Amino acid sequence: MEKTGSGFYIIDAFSLRQASKKPFHLEKRFLNSGENDINTTTTSLEEAESKREALLQERREKLSRKFLEVQQVVKQAQARKESQRQVFQQSLQLAELKRKTHIEQRRAASKELVERAKVIARQNSLRFEAEQARQRRALQDRLERSEARRLHMLSQPKSRILVTGTTPIASSSASHSRKKKKKPCGTTSSSSSSSTTRCIIGVVTESGGGGGDSATLSRNVKAGVDKKAACDQHASSMHQSVVGTPKKKKGDTWKSVRSAFYKLSLPWSTQASTWIPFNELVVLLRSRRVIQVIAKLLRMLLLLNVTDKEKSRKWSRVLLSAYMMTICPCEVFQDMHAQQEQQLLAQAKQFLRQFEHVLESHPEASPGSAARSHFEESWNAYYALFEAWKAKDMKQLVANMSSYCIELIRLKETLGQDDDTVRQQLDEQIQQTKDRIRHVGGPSALEQLAESENTITSSSSSSKPTSSTEQQQPLSVPPSPTPRPERLDDKHQQQQQQPMADDELKQMLSGYIHEGGITNHQLAHEIIIDPEFKLQKQSSALEDHIRKIATRAFFDRVAEDIKEGHSEESLPMLMDDVKQRLLNLLRKGTSVYNQVDEGIDIALITQQAKQNAFDLDQVLKYVVHIMSQICAPVRDEAIRAIGDMDDPVQRLRAILEMLDEMALDLSNFRLRSLRPHLIPIAVEYERSKFAESLSNNTVGLTKTRAWLQQAVRRMNEVATQRNPEGVPTPTPTLRADAVFEDAFITLLTSPQIIDATTCPETLVMDVDRMRVYQNEIQSITIVAALVMLAKNFGHVGDLNDLTKKLFIMLQDRSTTIDNLASEIERTVRISPERKPMIRAMVDKTVSHSDTVYSLLMRRVGSVIRGQLQSGKFATREVLLSYGLEYVRKPLESLSTRVAILGRHHRQVYATWYDDIIADEITAIS
């Protein structure tokens, strides 16, 4: 080993060399290096673990803070709910307290009213007892005086009573005469006998003052006997005039007829054990004996002096049909669950119960008895429903067959004399159709068809319009068979005034009656009630189909004739038709009339057609030129289109159709001009027509009487509630005008649908119009209620726009509650949580039983009643206070139309309305 100058030692390593082993320092170095790596790794893991622990700790703290925040929020929410619950509980307690207070106040007020009523009742009882005591004393005094007079007369000799005419007899006669005045004439045999005795005594007394001549006495007694017979005859005539019983044939007494009825062994409606099978019942009810006995019973119960045996048998069969319906309804009715059949079945059962009750309890038919009145009302109601049920299908069948027959007649008139074979076939079909119409609808249906046929035959060139109000005539209520008493003065006056109004109306309305069956009465009524009334072409699916086929076949035939060179067979007739229609649109004597009359020469056209020299296109251009001069401005474009057509046959067809439209325009213009002249006589004309129907027993007043009686009782109850003490008022509480207005408005605002079977007889002609008014009133009420609901939700948009949309939606039958609620949701800006509340409120509001709906319905009726009373619509302030300001326009339009209808009916039927109202007021007084 050597040491160098730099301090290092040099060692000889050869002696340390080992062949198979590692150097010692290298192994040691490796060992040291491994220890350092282990220490380094251990330090890194500890740092990562500490960081992870720190991160987890931070997250735990954060989650802990979040949890504490959530707990705090939950506690706050629970505190708010608790506070709300306490507030709600306090509100409920306050409401309950107010309710109890209100109930207590009402109980106290009711108690006060009851005590007041008891005092009044006690006072009335005392007055009644005092009056009874006074009458009892007066009666006792009269009995004592009568006993004294009897004893005094017993002490007098008989000759003195018969001859001398002493004062006691005169006094007794005077007293007896006063008693007689209190009894109706001819009521009992005793009164008649006493009356005869007074006649004898009076004669003897007057002639017996001069002495006791027996001959004179004999003559006086004989004169008294004669006067007795006269008195008996007078009493008998007075009895018959008061009771009003018709003369019966010998043997046709009530007892005998009722005994004959019991012998028929008819089943009783109230005893199911007496019912028999359908076939046996049919055989029994069709028996001639049964029909005769029932007819006699009806004549006696209804006090009918019917000489027409056929009519009497018809009513008898109607009554027997009630047995069929009650015992075998499944065999009689096709649809047992239909509304009309259900009403008829219920009324038939009620009528049979009333009929059997009268048979059991009614010994003799008297006009003043309550049993007969109830039976009459039940009979009229059942008869009306039965005839309406029977005529429902028959009327539709007759209408369809009549329309078919009319089209056959038109086709026959259009063909003219061209083909005898076709005309013969048409005649056979027309006759077969008429026979069917006569068999189903009777002579009246055939008469209407004959009128239509005469109209078509006499004037095939004129278009026949029909009213625009309804395409189908309403189901008419059948007549009431029970006669009604008439006032002779009114009836005589109406018969005198009727011819004048009838002749004037026939003259005014001549040319407007069409083949659909509308009468002068109906046309005049429509013109008066509806200022916007217009005529339009008759339209029905069957007629349109037949007309389309016939028209196409006819003009195809015309085109073939022209193409084959045989235009003389059809063109002259068509050109004559065009000429006549043009002349009907022009005033006779004018220059245009003369120009058309001379310019379209049918004879020249016929000659030219035979020579194939007729220029159809040139003549049609001339016709179109004339039409463009005389037509209404609204038709200019259509006529210009006709002139531009290339096919002459189609142009001719279009000209004929346009002439129909122009004739309709002229008719409507004339009707508008006619209305001012028709108004002065229309009321009297309708009144006379209704009086004539009453006198002919084609209509009754049963439902009208019940309708007005309900109004009188309703208004009387209101008046009684407002005046419980019965303090007399200077003016009458119930006036006829007020009763009619209340009945009329109540009928329109009723939730029950107005139909012909329940409507009063005086309103049957307007039943469809009143049903439309009823629907409009309900629509106005619903819209007003929904707008009020929208306002209550706070932030709203344009309510006028909402009102218009709601009216449009209500006109659509497919609109539902959800549609209405959605429209309100779009207008009202509310949170989504409150939207379900709108749907529930809408469903509740549109119900007829809802309080808001009922309140607004009464307010709408009040506005319409005010228009009917004063002729003026409600002011803006009134509508604003009623909540109806947003439905002003439709409500004003409806009020005007209802007022026109109501005032017209009041003027026409015032005589009968006033009598019914006066009788009912007298009855309840």
Contact 529, 904 (CB under 8 A): yes
Average pLDDT over residues 522-528: 77
Structure tokens at 825: 């949701």
Mean of the per-residue pLDDT values for the chain? 75
Domain endpoint, select from 155, 190, 225 = 155
Sign of CA dihedral 523, 524, 529, 534: positive
pLDDT at position 235 is 41
Together in a domain, 572 and 592? yes
How many domains, in total, are found in the chain? 6
CA dihedral 265, 269, 270, 276 (to 10 degrees): 60
Whether 582 is covered by a domain: the verdict is yes
Statement to judge: residues 118 and 191 lie in one domain: no
Rounded mean pLDDT, 502-508:
53
Confidence (pLDDT) at 846: 81
Of 13-22, 98-107, 145-154, least confident by mean pLDDT is 13-22
Would you say residue 491 has pLDDT above 50? no
Q: In terms of residue numbers, what domain contains 303? A: 254-367
pLDDT at residue 665 tops 60: yes
d(CA 538, CA 544): 9
| Helix pair angle (851-870, 888-908), 10° resolution | 50
Same domain for 767 and 885, yes or no, is yes
pLDDT tier, 497 (very low <50, low <70, confident <90, very high otherwise):
very low
pLDDT in tens, 552-565: 888 888 888 888 88
Burial of 605 (0-12, 13-18, 19+ CB in 10 A): buried
List, for residues 211-263, the tens digit of each pLDDT value: 344 333 334 434 443 444 444 444 444 434 333 334 444 456 777 888 888 88
750/676 same-domain check: no
pLDDT at position 289 is: 85
Could you read off the pLDDT of 258-282 as tens digits, one per residue? 888 888 888 888 888 888 888 888 8
Q: How does DSSP classify residue 471?
A: S
Q: Of 198-202, 294-298, 325-329, 742-746, where does the model show the most confidence?
A: 742-746
Residues 393-398 have a mean pLDDT of 70
Mean pLDDT of 60-73: 93
Q: Is residue 6 part of a domain?
A: no
Whether residue 229 sits in one domain with residue 313: no
Question: Is the domain of 86 the same as that of 186?
Answer: no
Instruction: Please give the average per-residue pLDDT across 619-634, as a whole number.
Output: 88
Q: Quick check: is 909 in a domain? A: yes
Contact assessment for residue 774 and residue 759, using Cβ atoms and an 8 Å cutoff: no
Flag whether pLDDT at 492 surpasses 60. Answer: no
Question: In which band, very low, low, confident or very high, does the pLDDT at 746 lie, cut at 50, 70 and 90?
Answer: very high
The pLDDT-based confidence of 526 (bands split at 50, 70, 90) is confident
**Average pLDDT for 15-36:** 56
Report helix angle 541-564 to 648-695, nearest 10: 140
Q: Is 545 part of a structural domain of the chain?
A: no
12, 86, 293, 309, 312 from 250: Cα distances, Å: 183, 91, 15, 18, 19
Instruction: Report the pLDDT value the prediction gives residue 741, as an integer from 0 to 100.
Output: 93
405 and 444, same structural domain? yes
- Write the pLDDT tens digit of every residue in 855-912: 999 999 999 999 999 889 999 999 999 999 999 999 999 999 999 999 999 999 999 9
* 910 vs 166: which has the higher pLDDT: 910
Q: Are residues 439 and 588 in the same domain?
A: no
pLDDT of residue 441: 72
Residue 31 lies in a domain: no
E-strand stretches of 397-518: 465-467
Is 749 part of a structural domain of the chain? yes
Let me know whether 572 and 460 are in one domain.
no
Confidence label for 421 from pLDDT (cuts 50, 70 and 90): low
Q: Which of 186-195, 558-567, 718-727, 794-803 has the lowest mean pLDDT?
A: 186-195
Show which of 115, 140, 155 is a domain's final residue. Answer: 155
In a domain? residue 378: no
Q: Are residues 564 and 460 in the same domain?
A: no
Instruction: Please tell me the distance from the alpha carbon of residue 905 to that of residue 740, in angstroms, as a whole number.
Output: 10
The answer to whether 742 and 707 have CB atoms below 8 angstroms apart is no
Which has more confidence, 509 or 135?
135
pLDDT of the residue at 513: 46
Supply the pLDDT for residue 171.
Answer: 41
Whether the pLDDT of residue 816 is over 70: the answer is: yes
Distance between CA atoms of residues 906 and 466, nearest Å: 27
**pLDDT over threshold 90, residue 182:** no
pLDDT digits (tens, 9 = 90+) for 679-700: 777 888 888 888 888 888 888 8
| 338 to 208, 330, 389, 473, 556: CA distances (angstroms) | 82, 12, 11, 21, 48
Which carries the bigger pLDDT value, residue 171 or residue 783?
A: 783
Q: Is residue 756 part of a domain?
A: yes
498 and 614 both lie in a single domain: no
- pLDDT, position 75: 93
**605: Cβ–Cβ under 8 A, 6 or more apart, which residues?**
571, 572, 575, 614, 619
Q: Kindly state the percentage of the chain with pLDDT values over 70.
A: 72
Q: With CA atoms as reference, report the closest residue to 798 among 828, 777, 818, 775.
A: 828
Whole-model pTM over 0.85: no
Last residue of a domain, one of 155, 190, 219: 155
pLDDT at 656 over 80: yes
Residues 769 and 866 in one domain: yes
Give whole-number Cα distances, 195 to 153, 208, 219, 280, 573, in Å: 19, 20, 20, 57, 88
